[in-house]
Amino acid sequence: MQHTENNFHQDSNKRAIDLVNPSRPVVRSRMAIAPSPETVDVHPDGTLLAISTQTPNKEIILVSVKNSVLGQPIEISLRELGIEPDSERFQAGMYVSQVQWHPSGRYLAVNLDYRDQIAFFELQRDRTGNSQLIPWGRPVNVGKDPFSGQFTPDGRFFLTSNWGRNFGERVKTLEQRLPEKRGTVSVIRLAELNTSAVSAQHRVVSTATADISPESLAISPDGTRVVTVNMRGTLFPGNSPRFSRQASLSLMTLDRTSGRLTKLDDYSFEGILPESAAFDASGKYLAVTVYEYFAAKPKGEIELWQVLQAPKPALRLTGYAINLGRGVHQVLVAQ
């Protein structure tokens, strides 16, 4: 299972699919959940799913998995977790754009996109296997519109890709909604894992500027490279003054001790709505999704980029791509 966005996936059923034989996948289990699911992440031990939805009072759902069978969903509201509506925010700030498990499996990161915050929760399980979430420290204020994020492989930091969209009530057009300024990436240093839920303090230790409309980011397996995928103006109509044929990737380096994030460069390429990227297991290559292309190109691809190390870190488009048709949105690479 993988991250999906509600704009493209309205199905409120979740399925467990056996991929032992990738050429002949088999549906082992399915279940209905709350409408408008947004994202899903699998617990590191494979026994629990965390799902975010746009359904009020059911913003987070936990689903157990045993022998490829999905259990009954546990529906959790943000209010139960201590997140109260904020009348100053768009839709009262009660929206979760992403959930992701900590590499240890002990904590869950929740992107409170309309509040410009990331909240962390501790997973507790009783002897019967029932699960609940307990607030782990206070929500952390980050950049504007932290739509997506990712833990570093060692679990010490959580990075957010701050898209920067405008959610004001008077926004009526695409031009008003989408940012004209470059987005940012925030680095949150987490409290020590043994810190209690009450005394845990997480804080932003570094921020770097990406490019315009960085919807998502990827972190290399060794935790030293960060790439944001920037849509720029590729989704505007051709007659718009903000239209661009080129999107970009922003390459950054991350100090694994201090959390200092340093921007290196932007790499332009042609394509409409590139929205996701993933490093391979070696960290030497990067897979980038392109939703579709302009004229004389396949409708959608996963492009392969090389991650160069010398004389300094850089990205290079290899020219190799996988044609998957229009609508390529998310990519995950098995490690």
Q: Give the count of beta carbons closer than 10 Å to the beta carbon of residue 208.
A: 20
Residue 300 near residue 293 (C-beta atoms within 8 A) = yes
CA dist., res. 197 & res. 107, Å (int):
11
- 243 is a domain residue: no
CATH code for the domain in which residue 29 is found = 2.130.10.10
- 134 is a domain residue: yes
φ/ψ of 332, rounded to 5, equals -125, 140
CA dist., res. 191 & res. 36, Å (int):
33
- 16 is a domain residue: yes
pLDDT band at 18 (very low <50, low <70, confident <90, very high): low
- 319 is a domain residue: no
Q: Could you tell me how many residues make up the chain?
A: 335
Per-residue pLDDT tens for 192-232?
Answer: 988 888 889 999 999 999 999 999 999 999 999 999 999 99
Model confidence, pTM: 0.91
Range of the domain at 1: 1-141
CA dist., res. 243 & res. 276, Å (int):
20
Partner residues linked to 108 by β-bridges: 101, 121
- 127 is a domain residue: yes
pLDDT band at 67 (very low <50, low <70, confident <90, very high): confident
CA dist., res. 118 & res. 140, Å (int):
5
Residue 285 near residue 273 (C-beta atoms within 8 A) = no
- 276 is a domain residue: no
- 9 is a domain residue: yes
| Number of domains within the chain | 1
- 76 is a domain residue: yes
Partner residues linked to 246 by β-bridges: 270
